[in-house]
Structure 1
Amino acid sequence: MRYRLLSALVASAALAVDAAPAAAATYDYIVVGSGPGGGPLAADLARAGYSTLLIEAGGDEGDNPTYAELATFNEAANDEATRWDFWVKHSDDPAREMKFKHTTWDTGDGTFYIGLDPPEGAKHLGIQYPRAAVLGGCAMHNAGVCSLPQEDDWNIIVNKTGDTSWEAHKMRKYLTRIEKNEYLATGVSGHGYNGWLATSRGDAGWVADDSNPGTKIFKKMAEVLGLDPKHAVEMANGDILGADEPKDTTNAFYNMVQHGGKDGKRSSPNNYVRATLADPKKYPLTVQLRTLVTKVLFNTTTSGLPRAIGVEVMEGASLYRADPKHIPGTKGPISQIFAAKEVIVSGGAFNSPQILKLSGIGPAAELNKFNITVIKDLPGVGEQLGDNYEGSLLALGKAPVPIPGLVTALFRTPSAPTKKRNIFTWCGTFSFEGFWPGFPTDYGPNEFECALVHMAPKSQAGTVKLLSADPQDVPDINFRFFEHGGEKDLQELVEAANMMREAWQAGGDAVRPFEELHPCPGMQGDKRAANCTDALQAEYFKEQAYSHHATSTCAIGADNDPLAVLDSKFRVRGVVGLRVVDASAFPVVPGAFPSLPTMMLSAKAFEDVLADAGKLSGGSR
């Protein structure tokens, strides 16, 4: 049964959360979006003494066990209480799109059909890409996996902008600032112990049992990756966030870290925002829920660059059409709220570019098409959409593989273009094949999978484009997977699957043979079947790859880059008083999981905002 917060009038921070600000109120800062970028930033600004309004389109599910317990993340991502359904495309090829096995259709009777043979009259929706409209954003429905970007993912900003504050070794301080480490002894260098974000990991002691088929697979994986299986226990407890962990060019195993406490409770911006609201120091933070920002307001009447002075909002629940609870024709009252210093947009890789475009910032031709007054022609808004390619090796064993945890590794495949690791994998008794309403498929206790995340994709050719000037409308999203360098990326995914398949065979007769479900359906054991050529596997990954780490649609870039949207301080180019602080700011996809990097990015943005505080006057409305 779905849990509902019955009343906002509970003895918690939720009481303050539901209080709407007075009409035409003015704050020092307005932050739009409460996810990993915006939520922590709003709390930090309030704790620094600035009156801050945090606007969130969804509600607060912080007391809801479905969201508070990390183990129920699949339920959280499926929950209509917070889910926004974006129906995306992976390419411009309609025939290829119709090969995605989890294509979703609206049957017209309130249900979805998932698959390639829809009932007559069903409406094609596309590929589901769920986002979370809730206090805390997508950090409230994800699996909480923590990893750091490769050093080059930070250093690329230095190379593009000349801003040395982005150097990789300097970025670690933001991890130590926000982290509350619960899995190491206090004092281990490179970690934080007093921050707002709890980090923890499970027990990898099962690796010491040499009779366990999972241990045998683990040790064979070590051999395949060029590591010494004699050090299995040590490797299984590797610290993926460690300051002295093997760097980006070294194959290594880790014990998976999550942003949650050792009690299994999720730790997210929701906790930090609520703690800030409840603090006896009464920090000047106001949170307005169930409010859709329709555009940023600008002063264009004075000399100089246009200046952001506030936002226009529509108040009400489920106003955005991505919300499955949205009732067609529903609107809410519209009002304006003003910012004396800055407006900070943190809506994520889909909604931040949409908000900028609705506000008149984006490609002029696209804005003119919808009669939107151009405030600043910025061709890069909504461009360069990137994501990790994800796929999996999934099979059914003869019996369950008896391991209570996950095998996690970062490694380099033979054809990787550089010496850097290009694959993040975690293997265990689970099934995950992407997103569709009701995911994932439970294949029973014998299921075994190695999920594969491809890092540093060579193609960031996706786009987020308006379908109309209506802020309740959902944009057109096309990832254009594998458009550039696709053959090389596919080869790397195939190599990773082949390496994992080889390791599985060490599991022994207790669990073998593994009957593969994909990418080589029906294959048993290590004998390469006719349907398991590298070419057929590449075709499978091209058609069935999925993703959920969208970035780069408002990217930081150089002054002479026509697609640069932000400078190195997150400031939107060509205007004053406006920043974007979320995963859309990354020039490239940051490693394998962007949640923690985005929280670190938020902590850096706080410093940059403070550095500019006082430089901007209140200005004319």
Structure 2
Amino acid sequence: MRYRLLSTLVAAATVAAVETATETYEYVVVGSGPGGGPLACDLARAGYKTLLIEAGGDEGDNPTYSELGNFLEAANDEATRWDFWVKHSDDPKRELEFKHMTWDTGDGTFYVGLNPPAGAKQLGIQYPRAAVLGGCAMHNGGVCSLPQDEDWNLIVNATGDTSWEASKMRQYLKKIEKNDYLPSGNAAHGYTGWLSTSTGDASWAKNDSLPATKILKKMAELTGQNPADVASLANSDILGAYDNKDDITSFYNMVQHADKNGKRSSPNNYVRATLADPKKYPLTLKLHTLATKVLFANATAAGGLPRAIGVEVMEGASLYRADPKHVPGTKGNTTQILASREVIVSGGAFNSPQLLKLSGIGPAAELQKFGIPVIKDLLGVGEKLADNYEGSLLGLATEPIQGAGLITMMFRTPSAPTKKRNIFTWCGVLSFEGFWPGFPTDYGPHEYECAMVHIGPKSQAGSVRLLSADPQDVPDINFRFYEHNGDVDLHELVEGGKLLREAWQAAGAPTLPFNELHPCPGTAAGANCSDAAQAESYKTQAYSHHATSTCAIGGDKDPMAVLDSKFRVRGVVGLRVVDASSFPVVPGAFPSLPTMMISTKAAEDIIADAQKAG
């Protein structure tokens, strides 16, 4: 398949000149997504003069972004899209088995597939990120779920900081949430925060004649739930406070960060509300500003440790080469901005480690390779890249499935190593097979899919590494899927797919038989598809969009720890990282909400330190 390469413009290059720093703030926050946006607002609302830097623009009034239902269009939109072309392994042959491998044909088009035209340049596997006020919370599907309790508690175990205990972390959900789907007064939820949460209509599950309801009941039977209760189970609160919640297999009503009218709720709303508030909070926003380096000075008061004193930025739109609108050779004016208290980096799992390395913080050998002076040798920067494995069961029904609502379930497969559930699935008349230019494929009204997110992947071997010292360059990103204990994870995915396939057979006529497209092409019930064949499909066609852990929190004795439990970068002063890269592991099934929660926690930590310092 061919797709248009966007904005293939040619213009003369401009040369950047470094200007003297003219602005000083107490805090400078780099990145306005789920980590940085709320944090900047909280600091400003506490009275601290705060600058929020965002490389993209503001699309908050654009229906493509403000209407959550347009999320597929938003993720494809060149107005905000940064294209990272990633690898899933170190094996070139395996990479070429990914059916949505993307190529630059050289004539202004992309080719997506396994048989590129002669002379096409292999780009990689598309991993779009959003350069826009609000970050990736502006182009995602808005799915909200909570980490497993052990994802919080492992930080306690590693650092001794009991403020991370799972029982204490719900307070941050309650603080940011404006619940639109439950009556007020539910002690597990918040009702006055900045983040609206809502659910869809699950009343379809009351109609026993629908094929989707028959599938739902069979899923209940196969997972130990009562088929007679599916109408109420399908409306369960996925963010509820349940005893031993991570051991519970159950249907849920999917929660999204949107209001009850379908308007996306994100850090964009919080930033705009803070800027417009009559109280005139001291928040400044700089859009189209690419942070290129954190600035340091030696501070004897800090025991001789280097102190972050500001950032160097390049001003202008589409300066980063991941931007499809970038014009080769274009640079912006370079300016230095000072921070009297701290710099907070919130660029996400790809850009935060890149910025740290460009600033001299990271593995010394890697920095020296590109002539970057070493401020602090930190081995873990850019390492331990983690992500959920995602796969799906996709087929075409004999007749379109009428009246099908969205089925959401979290369940445990038989071989899971603990009692914890390990699969998050959602099923419906949809098609989602990962990312490529122009995704997804529309298979028409007969399509039906159960998409799966694997919770708690065993391997964490990915990396984000520099290709140059040029801040406009995109780093080398390799997830190294299934590098460790891959057979275990693949077996769990196969078990999940087999359970869902069996449930499909309950749909009855005229829906049956399904013509399965993957992982077992052409089989009605997977009868002629071995477990090994299914595992190979999940291995070569896995996709993901929940990158985390490249600047991970860890204990004092962990040589790979980048941050302490207060998000402070080890070995320097005045610098923190607050975003999805901070998590030691992927937090559950979807990291957007957990990242907004830790943003609020980080604000508390930073304000507490500021009050002590005076």
- Same-fold status (TM-score > 0.5): yes
> Are 1:149 and 2:151 an aligned pair?
no
1:405 CA drift (Å): 2.6
Task: Letter of the 1:74 partner, please give it.
Answer: L
The 5-angstrom pairing of residues 529-540 of structure 1 reads 529=528, 532-540=529-537
Please provide the CA RMSD for this pair. Answer: 1.2
Number of residue equivalences: 594
**SS state at 1:492 partner:** helix
For the residues of structure 2 that align with 1:400 and 1:311, how far apart are their CA atoms? Answer: 55
Q: Partner of 2:14 in structure 1?
A: none
1:332 CA drift (Å): 0.5
**SS state at 2:174 partner:** helix
For the residues of structure 2 that align with 1:377 and 1:430, how far apart are their CA atoms? Answer: 47
Q: Partner of 2:556 in structure 1?
A: 559
**SS state at 1:408 partner:** strand
Q: Partner of 2:330 in structure 1?
A: 330
Deviations 1:451-487 (A, max 9, x none): 0000100000000000000000000000000000100
The 5-angstrom pairing of residues 171-210 of structure 1 reads 171-210=169-208
TM-score, with length taken from structure 1: 0.95
The 5-angstrom pairing of residues 439-454 of structure 1 reads 439-454=439-454
1:403 CA drift (Å): 3.2
Q: Partner of 2:11 in structure 1?
A: none
Task: Letter of the 1:261 partner, please give it.
Answer: D
1:300 CA drift (Å): 2.2
Deviations 1:3-61 (A, max 9, x none): xxxxxxxxxxxxxxxxxx99521001000000000000000100000000000000000
Q: Partner of 1:136 in structure 2?
A: 134
> Are 1:170 and 2:168 an aligned pair?
yes
**SS state at 2:25 partner:** strand
CA change 1:271–1:235 in 2 (3 A) is: same
1:110 CA drift (Å): 1.4
TM-score, with length taken from structure 2: 0.96
Which residues of structure 1 form unaligned runs of 5+?
1-20
For the residues of structure 1 that align with 2:236 and 2:370, how far apart are their CA atoms? Answer: 53
Q: Partner of 1:603 in structure 2?
A: 600
Q: Partner of 1:613 in structure 2?
A: 610
Q: Partner of 2:3 in structure 1?
A: none
1:301 CA drift (Å): 6.2
Q: Partner of 1:276 in structure 2?
A: 274
For the residues of structure 1 that align with 2:204 and 2:20, how far apart are their CA atoms? Answer: 57
1:233 CA drift (Å): 1.1
For the residues of structure 2 that align with 1:510 and 1:377, how far apart are their CA atoms? Answer: 64
1:599 CA drift (Å): 0.3
**SS state at 1:510 partner:** coil
Q: Partner of 1:412 in structure 2?
A: 412
For the residues of structure 2 that align with 1:240 and 1:72, how far apart are their CA atoms? Answer: 23
For the residues of structure 2 that align with 1:159 and 1:453, how far apart are their CA atoms? Answer: 26
For the residues of structure 2 that align with 1:343 and 1:527, how far apart are their CA atoms? Answer: 54
Q: Partner of 1:353 in structure 2?
A: 353
Q: Partner of 1:227 in structure 2?
A: 225
Q: Partner of 2:115 in structure 1?
A: 117
Q: Partner of 1:106 in structure 2?
A: 104
Q: Is the 8 A contact 1:341 1:616 kept in 2?
A: no
For the residues of structure 2 that align with 1:156 and 1:150, how far apart are their CA atoms? Answer: 10
1:65 CA drift (Å): 0.3
**SS state at 2:432 partner:** coil
The 5-angstrom pairing of residues 490-505 of structure 1 reads 490-505=490-505
Q: Partner of 1:528 in structure 2?
A: 527
**SS state at 1:384 partner:** strand
Task: Letter of the 1:499 partner, please give it.
Answer: L
Q: Is the 8 A contact 1:213 1:510 kept in 2?
A: no
Task: Letter of the 2:374 partner, please give it.
Answer: V
Task: Letter of the 2:292 partner, please give it.
Answer: T
Q: Is the 8 A contact 1:58 1:133 kept in 2?
A: yes
For the residues of structure 1 that align with 2:20 and 2:250, how far apart are their CA atoms? Answer: 54
Q: Is the 8 A contact 1:183 1:199 kept in 2?
A: yes
Task: Letter of the 2:94 partner, please give it.
Answer: R
Deviations 1:343-384 (A, max 9, x none): 000000000000000000000000010110100000000000
CA change 1:506–1:591 in 2 (3 A) is: same
Q: Partner of 1:310 in structure 2?
A: 310
Q: Partner of 1:547 in structure 2?
A: 544
The 5-angstrom pairing of residues 566-605 of structure 1 reads 566-605=563-602
For the residues of structure 2 that align with 1:200 and 1:606, how far apart are their CA atoms? Answer: 25
Deviations 1:407-444 (A, max 9, x none): 00000001101110000000000000000000000000
1:304 CA drift (Å): 1.6
CA change 1:227–1:83 in 2 (3 A) is: same
**SS state at 2:488 partner:** helix
Task: Letter of the 2:594 partner, please give it.
Answer: P
For the residues of structure 1 that align with 2:438 and 2:65, how far apart are their CA atoms? Answer: 16
Deviations 1:221-257 (A, max 9, x none): 0001111101111100100001137611111110000
For the residues of structure 1 that align with 2:405 and 2:286, how far apart are their CA atoms? Answer: 39
Q: Partner of 2:427 in structure 1?
A: 427
For the residues of structure 2 that align with 1:439 and 1:544, how far apart are their CA atoms? Answer: 15
Q: Partner of 2:391 in structure 1?
A: 391
1:171 CA drift (Å): 0.1
Q: Partner of 1:9 in structure 2?
A: none
For the residues of structure 2 that align with 1:425 and 1:614, how far apart are their CA atoms? Answer: 45
The 5-angstrom pairing of residues 24-173 of structure 1 reads 24-173=22-171
Task: Letter of the 1:528 partner, please give it.
Answer: A
For the residues of structure 1 that align with 2:257 and 2:396, how far apart are their CA atoms? Answer: 30
Q: Is the 8 A contact 1:577 1:616 kept in 2?
A: no
**SS state at 2:246 partner:** coil
Which residues of structure 2 form unaligned runs of 5+?
1-18
**SS state at 1:135 partner:** coil
CA change 1:495–1:580 in 2 (3 A) is: same
The 5-angstrom pairing of residues 374-385 of structure 1 reads 374-385=374-385
Task: Letter of the 2:167 partner, please give it.
Answer: H
Deviations 1:125-146 (A, max 9, x none): 0000000000000000000000
Q: Is the 8 A contact 2:387 2:547 kept in 1?
A: yes
CA change 1:551–1:401 in 2 (3 A) is: same
Task: Letter of the 2:256 partner, please give it.
Answer: Q
Deviations 1:524-575 (A, max 9, x none): 1x3601xx10000000011000000000000000000000000000000000
1:615 CA drift (Å): 4.7
1:189 CA drift (Å): 1.5
**SS state at 1:448 partner:** strand
Identical amino acids, percent of aligned pairs: 75
For the residues of structure 2 that align with 1:429 and 1:396, how far apart are their CA atoms? Answer: 10
Q: Is the 8 A contact 2:501 2:526 kept in 1?
A: no
For the residues of structure 2 that align with 1:615 and 1:589, how far apart are their CA atoms? Answer: 32
Q: Is the 8 A contact 2:212 2:404 kept in 1?
A: no
For the residues of structure 1 that align with 2:514 and 2:213, how far apart are their CA atoms? Answer: 16
Task: Letter of the 1:580 partner, please give it.
Answer: V
**SS state at 1:191 partner:** coil
Q: Is the 8 A contact 1:246 1:252 kept in 2?
A: no
